[in-house]
Amino acid sequence: MKTVLAAALLWVLASGQVLACDVCGCAVGGSYLGILPQFRRHFAGVRFQYRTFDSEHPNLFGGGIESVSREQYLTAETWGRWTPLHNVQVFGFVPYHHFSRTEDGSLTRASGLGDASVVANWVVFNTGDSTRRAWKHALQLGGGVKLPTGNARLLQSNGEAMPRNMQPGSGSVDFPINAMYTLRRGAWGMTAEGNYRINTPDAEGYRFGHRAGLASRIFYWKSMKHMTMLPGAGIFWEHTSSDRLHGTAQDFTGGHSLWAGVGMDWFMRRWAFSILYQHPLAAHIGEGYIQPGPRASAGISYLF
């Protein structure tokens, strides 16, 4: 196996194009809409996500100590919803990323605008406003496009390319699709959400693996005079297929992970807030060389 990996590295060096090591975090990750306030109203907001990974970089030639790095990913995403029709919702997302990696005492940073995306959802049905139904439920289906607005060609201080998983952009046009179902009876409810992203190759023939995510969450609805609170807990599963270069699967890419999460959503008149903490239960990412740490997210939105 080491002979094969060494030959692969020699081919990369001989090609004259440094592709950088792909054994680093951010290999698996889904994007969830979460609990959405008041279907027929527009909103604009920002949400933050913090993730960490510990990555083991194999010594391709043997005889030495394998390197271990810690990756930290912070994303601030501006997003919003526009409802042109009572059963149509259009979402827009513009992320800003700040990545850092510490390896052998050396710190590498990368930051910049990420890839913007637009998704249109169709509300198939929604009985949440009905006073005659004990069971209230809603279903949304949608899809959209992610554009290569982020920089995918950042260089390190030595002039080499940043690892692909530390680039703010992907350099490709991709197509996300999603489905979301919400069910509530009395104060208790649940959400089930699935998403899938079909990725295309960039200008150099590199394609990130297609990504899938499933999430289910149970929540409790507590209304007060000027505020509604929704504490909840859920489970999250994510999978990414292997990246490909000109159709050839790349080593140390792709994988799957399972997470447990607890969080809170609350609504105060025109404002919506959310926090979520997720802990990894199981993971096999990058052929086992990448171990995800806990991650957290928070958001604030204004309805109008």
pLDDT, mean of residues 130-140: 84
- For residues 94 and 79, the answer to whether their CB atoms sit within 8 Å is yes
Predicted confidence band at 93 (pLDDT cuts at 50, 70, 90)? very high
Of the candidates 263, 274, 213, the one whose C-alpha atom is nearest the C-alpha of residue 30 is 213
Chain-wide mean pLDDT for the chain?
86
- DSSP states of 13-34 as a string? HHTT-------SS-SS------
pLDDT, mean of residues 229-243: 96
Q: In the prediction, which pLDDT does 230 show? A: 94
Q: Which residues contact 288 (CB under 8 A, 6 or more apart)?
A: none
Range of the domain at 110: 2-303
Position 127 pLDDT exceeds 90: no
Q: In the prediction, which pLDDT does 9 show? A: 32
Position 221 pLDDT exceeds 80: yes
pLDDT, mean of residues 75-95: 95
3-state secondary structure of 2: helix
3-state secondary structure of 8: helix
Beta bridge partners of 175: 198
Position 19 pLDDT exceeds 50: no
Q: In the prediction, which pLDDT does 26 show? A: 58
For 194, the token pair is 């699935």
For 35-39, 96-100, 163-167, 174-178, which range has the lowest pLDDT when averaged over its residues?
A: 35-39
pLDDT tens-place string over residues 40-81: 789 999 999 999 999 887 765 555 557 888 999 999 999 999
pLDDT, mean of residues 137-147: 95
pLDDT, mean of residues 30-47: 79
pLDDT, mean of residues 98-127: 93
pLDDT tens-place string over residues 244-276: 999 999 998 999 999 999 999 999 989 999 999
- Residue 230, amino acid: L
Q: In the prediction, which pLDDT does 134 show? A: 84
- For residues 40 and 272, the answer to whether their CB atoms sit within 8 Å is no
**Total number of domains constituting the chain:** 1
Q: In the prediction, which pLDDT does 225 show? A: 84
Predicted confidence band at 158 (pLDDT cuts at 50, 70, 90)? confident
Position 10 pLDDT exceeds 60: no
Q: In the prediction, which pLDDT does 197 show? A: 97
Q: In the prediction, which pLDDT does 6 show? A: 36
pTM attached to this predicted model = 0.86
Predicted confidence band at 111 (pLDDT cuts at 50, 70, 90)? very high
Q: In the prediction, which pLDDT does 131 show? A: 66
Q: Give me the CATH number covering residue 46.
A: 2.40.128.130
